[in-house]
Every structure is written in C-alpha cells, then in structure tokens.
Amino acid sequence: MMQYFHSVKLNVKKCIGCTICIKHCPTEAIRVHDGKAAIMDERCIDCGECIKSCPHHAKYAHSDTLKKLSEYKYNIALPDPSFFGQFKEGENIEDILQAFLHIGFDEVFEVSLAAEIVAYIVSQKLRSSKIKKPIFSTSCPAVLRLMQIKFPGLLEQTTQVLSPMEIAARIAKDEAVKKTGIAYDEIGAIFISPCPAKVTEARQPITTKHSAVNGVIGAHLIYRDIIKNLHKGPVDQEAQAQQRSLHKATKKGMSWGYLTGEPQSIEVGTTLAVSGVQNVMSLLEEIERGELQDVDFIEMKVCDAGCVGGPLNIQNSFVGRVHLRGLIARAGGQPSYYSEEELRDMYGKGHFESTEPILPRPIMTLDEDVAMALVKMERLDQITKELPGLDCGACGCPSCRALAEDIIRGTAFETDCVIKLRDRIKILAQEILYLARIVPPSMAADHPEKKEGA
C-alpha cells in the first residue's frame, strides 16, 4: 500500500480530545481515540480545516524553517501571491521581496509571475473547443485531493497544467543555473506557503512525478523575519547600481492570492470562482449532475476568500484580501514581464503540462465486491437506525453514520456510543435493583413486602 505523506500533524500534548476537529473535517478523516485526535492517512487531504477549527491549537502544519537554506549553495525564495496580503497598508512589493535577500536567500522569484504563465496556458486551452467544459483549476491541491476521493468522475476536467508553485520553481532554478553556473541540484527552491496542502504537494505532488520545489516554509514561520528586514534597501551594491527590480509580476498574477484572481487573469469565456470547502463540494455535486455546462472555467479554493485565507497566513482572510488589493492597485499597471511570443512558446513546448494523470482514490468503498458491499450496507443502515442520531461525537466519530461505518469496518463497537452504553447500564441497574430487593429467608423480618403483609 502507498505511503502517504501528510503535513497536517497533531501536537499530542495540546490535544485534549474534545472532538471539535472531527466535525470540521470534510472527508471524515479524524477520530478521537484514547483521548487524542488521530488522522486517517488515506483520507486526509491536508486542507487544514482542523488547524483552523482547533481551539487548543493542537493541529499544526509541518513545514521547513530557514535552517533548510543551509542544505543548498544557492537559495531562491518563492513567495505565494497571498503572502503580500499579510503586510500593513503602505508597504510595497519591492521592499518585501528585498527583505528575502536580507534573511539569507540569494534570489526571489514571485509565484505570481508563474501564475501569469498558467493563466495564459489555460486561456489558450479554453479557446479550443475540443475540451469538455467546465474545466477546473489545478492550483489548489486540497481541492484536487478532495476530488480524488469524492468526485473522481470530474478529474478529467481539470486543466492538466502544473501549479504556479511548480512552474515558478522550475523557471527560477533554470535561470539560476544560467546566471551562476551552480549545479541544478545545489540550488534550493523554497516555497513560502499559505497552507499545509502545498507543503504536501511539494513532497508528494499529484500532477508531476517529482517536484522542483526543495523546501516549503510556512508563511507564519517567516513573517517576523521579513517584517524585521523591511526597508533595509538592496543587499548587493551591484544590483543597486543596475537598479535591478525584483518585482516582475503584474496585477494578473498577483491577484491569484485571493478568490476571483484566476478568472480575472484568464479573461476568456464564462467563469466562476468558489471558495470554502463546503461551497466547493456543493458546486461539484451540481456539476456532477450535469449542471453548469455553460460555464467554461472554475476556480476552486478550499480556504475562504482564496489563498489569503490559508491556515498558515497571518491576517484574517478578508483583511488580507483588502491589503493585497491595495498593494496591487498601488503597484499600477506595469507591462507583462513575459512577451506574448514568449508565453506562446512556453505553451507550445508543453513543458508546463502535468505529466501524471490525477487518479481516483475510492477509499470510501465498503467492499470490492458489490454484493458484499450491499450486505455491509444493509447492516450499516440497520446499525445507523439503532443509533441515537444525535451526532454528538462522544464516540470519537464525526456522526452516528460514521460510527456505524467504523463498526462495519471493524474499528469501533456499538458500546462506543455513550447513549447506547447508558441504555445497557440502565438495564443492568434495573437488574441489580431487582436482585437487591430479593432477601434471603433468614433476614425475612426486614423484607419490606413482608412487613406490609404483617
């Protein structure tokens, strides 16, 4: 069986076994056992809903730290578009990018710039009438993993393009090799991530065999270092002399940090943008039934308001979006870094197409044999009917139905249900009471019934 890597982890010390997270998990991947939350590896999509919902901050995303930089000769920071929404109003993008060079990076490459390439490729694909519509963005890996489990029938309608993160890493490393002569393997591409899903995507990518991203640092882990190093000016004098600007992305790519950024930059056909894991699921249900065939492209993000709402970002998602919008507006309309010709060339060569098919992961199936699965389903329905239907979570499962499923799978017992257990105790108590009232003949004088009769 395949080993799954997950970036979402549990801090056992902080977990009090309260069952809040199990209710928020869209794939019902968490159970509370022995007073601690346990994540089922094969079900987890690393969306981070449990990180957001845990009041005790017991869930966290495992990511790299700045120490990772010591493993490479030359390091390139790849900040996510949403990262720029984390700063106070009045900051400018160039200053933020310069700060990366002050904390140990040798180069910065905006993922926003790669997003512009993806936008171009997708717009070209939409112009061809051959594809089945609507097509779905592949930029949110948590959405892709959700589709693998719950909406496998729609996987073929994804754009089949690599993510902006992946493309950014490839271009930045190729450029660095040319510029410095350092070997490709000695160059580290470090993504600055808003979410655990992208940490996982770099380690265990879905759309390509091996990711060019060498490390991922959570936005929350690097934020303070960046803040402290703002406004220090250019690091190297040579760059200053050449007035080299690190900021190359335009509004098109930068707006990928918040919801609606993708459709706005693709500029072709009828588009739709949806965020929040529940909203994504209900929209996918509709599309699965054949609705929305007149829509060409759909952006989907599991986080509210898009990547600015990522669990590793610092600001509230709405504040982050306002800041990012302000930043983009102030940056003005600089011309696109890549010419139309260069973009056409990149699309034509097909280097940025995904190389792996996104395969279904039918982990919800009760049994491989349909007849056997039906037998189990009959039992499952029966058990569900007998459970109280409170969905209280005290058994450690997200719902009564989920407990019934676990019982069928052999990982739980009916008496895990506190209500069921209480019923059993009640029956037992009545029996004990009955036994207690039976008095042996030698003590008959004390027998209440006898007294009455006397």
Partner 1 sequence: MAASDASTPQITLEFPIEEKDFFMAGESASRVKKILQQLGLGQDIIRRVAIIIYEAAMNVAIHGSHGQLEVHVDPVAIYVKTADEGAGIPDIELAMSEGFSTASDEIREMGFGAGMGLPNIKKNSDDLSVESKINEGTLLRATVYLNSVPSP
Instruction: Give me the least distance between CB of 203 and partner 1, in Å please.
Output: 28
CA angle 342, 343, 345 (to 5 degrees): 65
| CA–CA distances in Å: residue 125 to residues 129, 156, 161, 272 | 8, 14, 10, 17
DSSP state of 418: H
For residue 204, which of 68, 59, 41 has the smallest C-alpha distance?
41
423: CB partners within 8 A, 6+ apart: none
Instruction: Give me the least distance between CB of 369 and partner 1, in Å please.
Output: 8
| CA–CA distances in Å: residue 226 to residues 105, 139, 235, 254 | 11, 25, 14, 19
403-422 positions binding partner 1, by CB under 8 A: 405
Nearer to partner 1, 104 or 152 (CB): 152
Nearer to partner 1, 370 or 432 (CB): 370
Instruction: Give me the least distance between CB of 287 and partner 1, in Å please.
Output: 10
Instruction: Give me the least distance between CB of 359 and partner 1, in Å please.
Output: 12
Nearer to partner 1, 183 or 372 (CB): 372
Positive or negative, the CA dihedral 175, 179, 185, 187 is: negative
Nearer to partner 1, 362 or 389 (CB): 362
142-161 positions binding partner 1, by CB under 8 A: 150, 152-153
| CA–CA distances in Å: residue 138 to residues 141, 206, 246, 435 | 7, 10, 27, 67
Question: Do the Cβ atoms of 424 and 61 come closer than 8 Å?
Answer: no
Pairing of strands 297-301, 271-275: parallel
Binding status of residue 373 toward partner 1 by CB under 8 A: yes
Instruction: Give me the least distance between CB of 87 and partner 1, in Å please.
Output: 41
Q: Which of 12, 329, 370, 432 binds partner 1 (CB under 8 A)?
A: 370
Q: Which of 12, 183, 364, 390 binds partner 1 (CB under 8 A)?
A: 364
The full length of the chain comes to: 454
Positive or negative, the CA dihedral 222, 226, 229, 232 is: positive
Which neighbouring-strand residues pair with 203?
A: none
Q: Which of 131, 377, 421, 439 binds partner 1 (CB under 8 A)?
A: 377
Nearer to partner 1, 66 or 377 (CB): 377
Question: Do the Cβ atoms of 320 and 85 come closer than 8 Å?
Answer: yes
Site string for partner 1, 283-322 (x = CB under 8 A): --xx-xxx--------------------------------
Nearer to partner 1, 17 or 153 (CB): 153
Instruction: Give me the least distance between CB of 41 and partner 1, in Å please.
Output: 19
Q: What is the largest CA-CA distance in the chain?
A: 115
> How many of the chain's residues bind partner 1 (CB under 8 A)?
26
Instruction: Give me the least distance between CB of 364 and partner 1, in Å please.
Output: 5
Q: Which of 362, 390, 423, 427 binds partner 1 (CB under 8 A)?
A: 362
Binding status of residue 386 toward partner 1 by CB under 8 A: no
What ranges in 256-396 are assigned the alpha helix state H?
Answer: 261-266, 277-288, 317-331, 340-349, 370-386
* 3-state SS, residue 408: helix
Q: Which of 175, 225, 353, 367 binds partner 1 (CB under 8 A)?
A: 367
Give, to the nearest 10 degrees, the angle between helix 164-180 and helix 196-203. 60
Binding status of residue 366 toward partner 1 by CB under 8 A: yes
Instruction: Give me the least distance between CB of 388 and partner 1, in Å please.
Output: 20
151-210 positions binding partner 1, by CB under 8 A: 152-153
Q: Which residues bind partner 1 (CB under 8 A)?
A: 150, 152-153, 285-286, 288-290, 360, 362, 364-375, 377-378, 381, 405
